[in-house]
């Protein structure tokens, strides 16, 4: 395994572990509001105060809520609690100050915990839509390439048409013409449906080209001569030939869909703000006046970068031209 | 050549007709209509008048027919949000988006191609650094870059953090306005151009590397042609084909990217206009925005094809 590949995999595995382990790794409930701590800065963890101690932090006092000024009270140490309440690390509930590893957002919610939980929603949407788009594209492209005829020409035209459209605008229109405010689960299903609709033509076009070549190969001809049915030839002989392409394409679709979710949620047409996703979290960053003082609102942007970088490094390692930042 | 242009023109017409019509119908069929913008206390007479003004009292199909009939005479209807005809509104926004898009595309092309030739032709620490840098930039989508740049701008005040013209520049002096726009331009352009420049760099580096291994390059070197000349006159043109092919696709990515960048940096372009129009169910504005976007696409893909034909004689034969 090359070092680039190892780096790429470790980035992706870290993100996956963060998403899976969110309830245990997060120090606070993602939706709990600390009313005194709107836009509070990240908590610093110390180990030294007149000698070495177990990791501890100081209490944070709000000085001016309006100016978002805070003061650290260094008179008393608040020792971190490990492995309690089914959490890896957290602050004592009666210590009066929460552990905010990445600060707090506009509602005084823990950004770090929301980032971990946000990974779940964001990646779930991206993964499910990438899988569906790949499956649908493989099926449609395979049938078109194998059968040819009118189905093939209609499908090719449709693919070309969808591919030429700027994806985010299509997603925007499709989302915006539905009721603007919807419950979270409906949004989840809706986004997946929209992304699948946008993503399948890329896959279909590639698979069609592969099947078109493969069906003339000796093994396909032999299978036909042996009396295999069309379905069997397509499913067991031709489509497996496109597996490397499918794997590649699916991995490129994931970051594209992740970005699409983030964009839609950022502009307010994705998940409602109570659901932590990387897109809804970025809404805090849209307040330019506050952004300068609260760089931690950009944490989800950094997370997005890590995922895109991981996938791009993998693609690069396979010697493929990396890609498109949109489906 | 003429046949090619006619074909492209027909394609453009179809694309524009389909996208704007479907945008119009989708916006019309969407739940809620523009009268909800009047507020909850609007009198029923006002609501009735507004519905009549925007042809909402007709069936969707007959409204579509009416709109098509007027649109072919270049009457695209009124906007409710701005209480003006949509044509000048959309033209202004489209000009802003085009400015942003073209400057970004030119920047990305110049930077990407020259760096690509450089990394392909030279070895050593500097090209390796450029390669690493462009891999990083590839993974910086406009959403992330524009937010990060706005943060830097807000923090340091080096550049204005958003908008296209400062509120203070209101006098109609042309030069002051132009300078102010130039001052606002680098931030969104950078956000939009970075990943694109990186894409061009990687692609150019790859194709240039392949071109340099061709026998005709070896032959040119053997004939005693100088290194720079071999690079620029022999190898480079033959490496251009895949890049020109990408140009047609780049326009879609450019439009998608510009939506996000416009939104984050408050650039008054097509993306923001369309977004607001969609939310308010301002149907004629939605349709006009969709039509303009489709026109951009058609122009972009045609330009891409022309470039491809210019770079590769084999395409011209078809």
**pLDDT greater at residue A120 or residue B310:** A120
Dihedral (CA of A45, A49, A54, A56) sign: negative
Nearest CB to B256 within list A167, A298, A312? A167
Q: What is the pLDDT of residues B259-308, one digit of tens each?
A: 999 988 888 989 889 999 988 888 899 999 999 999 998 888 888 888 87
- B256–A326 C-beta distance less than 8 A: yes
A198-207, A273-282, B172-181, B257-266: lowest mean pLDDT where? Answer: B172-181
pLDDT(A326) > 60: no
pLDDT(A16) > 90: yes
Interface test with A, best of B97, B142, B144, B289 (most A CBs within 10 A): B144
Task: Give chain B as a DSSP string.
Answer: -HHHHHHHHHHHHHHHHHHHHHHHHHHHHSSS-GGGGG-TT--HHHHHHHHHHTTTTS-HHHHHHHHHHHHTTT---EETTTTEEHHHHHHHHHHHHHHHHHHHHHHHHHHHHHHHHHHHH--SHHHHHHHHHHHHHHT--HHHHHHHHHHHHHHH-SS-SS-SS-TT--S--HHHHHHHHHHHSHHHHHHHHHHHHHHHHHHHHHHHHHHHTSHHHHHHHHTT--HHHIIIIIIHHHH-HHHHHHHHHHHHHHHHHHHHHHHHHT--SHHHHHHHHHHHT-HHHHHHHHHHHHHHHHHHHHHHHHHHHHH-HHHHH-
Residue among B157, B168, B277, B260 at smallest CA distance from A288: B157
Percent of chain B clearing pLDDT 90 (strictly above): 16
Q: Are strands A87-90 and A46-48 parallel, antiparallel or unpaired?
A: unpaired
- B150–A291 C-beta distance less than 8 A: yes
A33-47, A118-132, A263-277, B289-303: lowest mean pLDDT where? Answer: A33-47
To the nearest whole Å, the CA of A270 is away from the closest chain B CA by 13
Whole-number pLDDT of residue A1: 67
Nearest CB to B203 within list A180, A321, A326? A321
To the nearest whole Å, the CA of A245 is away from the closest chain B CA by 19
To the nearest whole Å, the CA of A288 is away from the closest chain B CA by 7
Nearest CB to B154 within list A173, A267, A288? A288
* Segment B58-81 mean pLDDT: 85
State the average pLDDT for chain A.
86
- A176–B141 C-beta distance less than 8 A: no
- B147–A301 C-beta distance less than 8 A: yes
Kindly report the CA angle at B123 between B122 and B127, in degrees rounded to 5?
A: 80
CB-based contact, A189 to chain B, within 8 Å: no
CB-based contact, A180 to chain B, within 8 Å: yes
User: Highest mean pLDDT: which of A223-227, A313-317, B39-43, B301-305?
Assistant: A223-227
Report chain A residues whose CB lies below 8 A from the CB of B162. 288
Cα A94 to Cα A84: distance, rounded to the nearest angstrom: 14
* Segment B40-61 mean pLDDT: 82
CB-based contact, B268 to chain A, within 8 Å: no
Q: Is A187 exposed, middle or buried (0-12, 13-18, 19+ CB in 10 A)?
A: buried
To the nearest whole Å, the CA of A261 is away from the closest chain B CA by 11
Which residues in B99-125 are b (16+ Cβ under 10 Å) and which e? bbbebbbebbbebbbebbbbbbbeeee
Which of the four pLDDT bands, split at 50, 70 and 90, describes residue A133?
very high
CB-based contact, A227 to chain B, within 8 Å: no
CB-based contact, B203 to chain A, within 8 Å: yes
pLDDT(A213) > 70: yes
- B301–A301 C-beta distance less than 8 A: no
Cα A120 to Cα A143: distance, rounded to the nearest angstrom: 34
Q: Are A104 and A284 in contact (CB under 8 A)?
A: no
pLDDT(B206) > 80: yes
Whole-number pLDDT of residue A162: 84
Report chain A residues whose CB lies below 8 A from the CB of B26. 173-174, 177
Cα B236 to Cα B208: distance, rounded to the nearest angstrom: 7
pTM of the model: 0.88
The chain A residue lying nearest B301, using CA atoms, is A164
- B155–A164 C-beta distance less than 8 A: no
Which of the four pLDDT bands, split at 50, 70 and 90, describes residue A143?
very high
The chain B residue lying nearest A252, using CA atoms, is B139
The chain A residue lying nearest B33, using CA atoms, is A177
- A323–B195 C-beta distance less than 8 A: no
The chain B residue lying nearest A278, using CA atoms, is B144
Token representation of residue A147: 């059968």
Backbone angles phi, psi at A47, to 5 degrees: -130, -15
Report chain A residues whose CB lies below 8 A from the CB of B18. 161
* Segment A38-58 mean pLDDT: 82
* Segment A204-226 mean pLDDT: 89
Report chain B residues whose CB lies below 8 A from the CB of A162. none
Whole-number pLDDT of residue B156: 83
CB-based contact, B135 to chain A, within 8 Å: yes
Cα A157 to Cα A161: distance, rounded to the nearest angstrom: 6
Whole-number pLDDT of residue B318: 56
Task: Give A119-143 as a DSSP string.
Answer: HHHHHHHHHHHHHHHHHHHHHHHHH
Which of the four pLDDT bands, split at 50, 70 and 90, describes residue A57?
confident
Nearest CB to B253 within list A285, A308, A325? A325
Which of the four pLDDT bands, split at 50, 70 and 90, describes residue B169?
low
- B143–A263 C-beta distance less than 8 A: yes
Q: What is the pLDDT of residues A61-109, one digit of tens each?
A: 888 877 778 888 877 778 788 888 778 888 777 777 788 888 888 888 8
Which of the four pLDDT bands, split at 50, 70 and 90, describes residue A136?
very high
CB-based contact, A262 to chain B, within 8 Å: yes
To the nearest whole Å, the CA of A137 is away from the closest chain B CA by 20
Going by the DSSP 8-state scheme, the letter that residue A49 receives in this structure is S
Report chain B residues whose CB lies below 8 A from the CB of A172. 259, 274-275, 278
Which of the four pLDDT bands, split at 50, 70 and 90, describes residue B105?
very high
* Domains of chain B by start residue, with CATH: 86-317 (1.10.3720.10)
Whole-number pLDDT of residue A131: 95
Whole-number pLDDT of residue B170: 63
Nearest CB to B275 within list A267, A301, A302? A267
Cα A121 to Cα A124: distance, rounded to the nearest angstrom: 5
Torsion, Cα B165 A169 B308 B108, to 10 degrees, reads 40
Q: What is the pLDDT of residues B133-166, one digit of tens each?
A: 888 888 888 899 999 998 888 888 787 777 777 7
Whole-number pLDDT of residue A327: 40
To the nearest whole Å, the CA of B275 is away from the closest chain A CA by 8
Report chain B residues whose CB lies below 8 A from the CB of A327. none
CB-based contact, A170 to chain B, within 8 Å: no
Size of interface A-B (CB pairs under 8 A): 127
In sequence order, the 6+-apart residues with CB closer than 8 A to the CB of B134 are B115, B197, B198, B201, B202
Percent of chain B clearing pLDDT 70 (strictly above): 96
Nearest CB to B143 within list A161, A262, A312? A262
């Amino acid at each position: 395994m090359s070092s680039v590949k190892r780096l790429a995999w470790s980035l992706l595995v870290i993100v996956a572990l963060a998403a899976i382990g969110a309830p245990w790794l997060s120090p606070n409930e993602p939706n709990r509001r600390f009313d005194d701590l709107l836009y509070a800065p990240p908590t610093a963890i110390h180990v030294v105060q007149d000698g070495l101690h177990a990791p501890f932090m100081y209490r944070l006092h709000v000085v001016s809520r309006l100016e978002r000024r805070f003061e650290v009270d260094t008179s008393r140490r608040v020792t971190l609690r490990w492995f309690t309440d089914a959490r890896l690390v957290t602050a004592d509930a009666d210590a009066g100050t929460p552990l905010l590893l990445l600060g707090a957002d506009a509602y005084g919610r823990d950004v770090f915990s929301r980032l971990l939980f946000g990974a779940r929603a964001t990646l779930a949407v991206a993964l499910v839509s990438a899988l569906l788009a790949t499956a649908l594209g493989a099926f449609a492209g395979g049938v078109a390439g194998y059968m040819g005829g009118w189905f093939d020409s209609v499908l090719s035209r449709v693919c070309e048409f969808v591919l030429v459209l700027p994806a985010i605008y299509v997603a925007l229109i499709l989302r915006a013409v539905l009721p603007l405010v919807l419950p979270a689960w409906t949004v989840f299903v809706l986004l997946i449906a929209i992304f699948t609709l946008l993503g399948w033509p890329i896959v279909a076009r590639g698979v069609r080209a592969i099947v078109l070549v493969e069906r003339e190969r000796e093994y396909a001809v032999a299978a036909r001569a042996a009396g295999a049915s069309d379905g069997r030839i397509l499913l067991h002989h031709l489509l497996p030939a496109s597996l490397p392409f499918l794997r590649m394409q699916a991995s490129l679709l994931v970051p594209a869909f992740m970005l699409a979710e983030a964009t839609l949620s950022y502009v307010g047409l994705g998940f409602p703000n109570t659901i932590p996703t990387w897109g809804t979290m970025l809404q805090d960053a849209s307040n330019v006046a506050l952004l300068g003082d609260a760089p931690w609102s950009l944490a989800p942007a950094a997370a997005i970068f890590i995922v895109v970088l991981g996938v791009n490094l993998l693609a690069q390692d396979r010697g493929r031209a990396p890609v498109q930042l949109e489906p | 050549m003429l046949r090619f242009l006619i074909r492209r023109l027909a394609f453009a017409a179809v694309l524009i007709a389909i996208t704007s019509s479907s945008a119009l119908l989708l916006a019309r069929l969407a739940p809620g209509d523009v009268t909800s913008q009047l507020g909850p206390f609007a009198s029923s007479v006002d609501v009735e008048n507004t519905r009549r003004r925007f042809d909402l009292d007709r069936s969707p199909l007959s409204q579509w027919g009416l709109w098509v009939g007027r649109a072919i005479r270049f009457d695209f209807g009124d906007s409710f949000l701005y209480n003006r005809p949509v044509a000048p509104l959309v033209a202004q926004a489209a000009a802003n988006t085009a400015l942003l898009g073209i400057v970004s595309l030119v920047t990305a092309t110049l930077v990407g191609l020259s760096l690509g030739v450089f990394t392909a032709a030279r070895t050593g620490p500097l090209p390796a650094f450029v390669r690493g840098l462009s891999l990083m930039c590839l993974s910086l989508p406009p959403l992330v870059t524009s937010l990060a740049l706005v943060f830097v701008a807000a923090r340091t005040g080096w550049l204005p953090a958003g908008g296209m013209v400062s509120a203070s520049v209101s006098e109609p002096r042309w030069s002051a306005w132009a300078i102010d726009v130039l001052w606002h331009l680098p931030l969104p352009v950078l956000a939009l151009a970075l990943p694109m420049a990186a894409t061009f760099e990687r692609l150019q580096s790859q194709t240039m590397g392949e071109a340099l291994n061709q026998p005709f390059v070896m032959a040119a070197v053997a004939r005693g042609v100088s290194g720079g000349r071999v690079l620029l006159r022999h190898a480079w043109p033959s490496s251009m084909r895949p890049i020109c092919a990408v140009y047609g696709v780049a326009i879609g990515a450019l439009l998608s990217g510009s939506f996000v960048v416009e939104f984050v940096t408050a650039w008054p372009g097509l993306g923001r206009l369309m977004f607001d129009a969609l939310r308010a169910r301002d149907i004629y504005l939605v349709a006009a925005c969709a039509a303009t976007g489709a026109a951009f696409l058609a122009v972009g893909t045609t330009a891409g094809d022309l470039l491809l034909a210019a770079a590769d004689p084999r395409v011209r034969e078809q």
